[in-house]
Amino acid sequence: MRTASALARHLSKAELLQTLDVVSLADKAGTEQQFRQIVAHTARLIPLQGLHACFATLDASSQVCGLSRHLLIDYPQAFVDEYLAKDAARDDPTWPALLGGEGPLIWHELRARHRSPAQQALYRRADAHGLHDGFTFGMRHSQLRCVSAFAVACAPRELRRHPRHIALIGYLMPHLHAALARIQLNPARQPSALTEREREVMAWAKFGKTDQEIALQIGVSARTVKFHIDNAMHKLQASNRVQAAAIALSQGLIDWG
pLDDT, mean of residues 137-155 = 91
CA 248 to each of CA 23, 84, 171: distance values in angstroms, whole numbers, following the listed order: 13, 35, 16
* pLDDT band of 243, cuts 50, 70, 90: confident
The answer to whether domain 5-185 and domain 196-250 are alike in fold is no
Q: Beta-strand (E) ranges in the chain? A: 48-58, 64-73, 105-106, 134-137, 146-154
For residue 256, name the pLDDT band (cuts at 50, 70, 90): low
Give the total residue count for the chain. 257
> Residue 137: left (phi > 0), alpha (psi -120 to 50), or beta?
beta
Q: Measure the CA–CA gap between 222 and 209, rounded to whole angstroms.
A: 11
Give the confidence band of 207 by pLDDT, cuts at 50, 70, 90. Answer: confident
* pLDDT for residue 103 is more than 60: yes
Write the class of the CATH domain 5-185.
alpha beta
Q: What is the C-alpha to C-alpha distance for residues 156 and 106, in angstroms, rounded to an integer?
A: 10
Name the band, by pLDDT with cuts 50, 70 and 90, for residue 195: confident
Look up the pTM and report it: 0.74
Class for the domain spanning 196-250: mainly alpha
**Order of strands across the sheet that contains 146-154:** 64-73, 48-58, 146-154, 134-137, 105-106
pLDDT per position as a tens digit, 3-32? 667 788 889 999 999 999 999 999 889 889
Q: What pLDDT is attached to residue 216?
A: 93
The ranges assigned to domains in the chain are 5-185, 196-250
Asked if residues 106 and 137 have their Cβ atoms less than 8 Å apart, the reply is no
Among residues of the chain, what percentage have pLDDT more than 90? 57
If you average pLDDT over residues 100-124, what whole number do you get?
A: 94
What's the pLDDT at 111?
96
Per-residue b/e over 147-158, b at no fewer than 16 CB within 10 Å? bbbbbbbbeeeb
User: Is the predicted pLDDT of residue 1 greater than 70, yes or no?
Assistant: no
Q: What is the pLDDT of residue 4?
A: 67
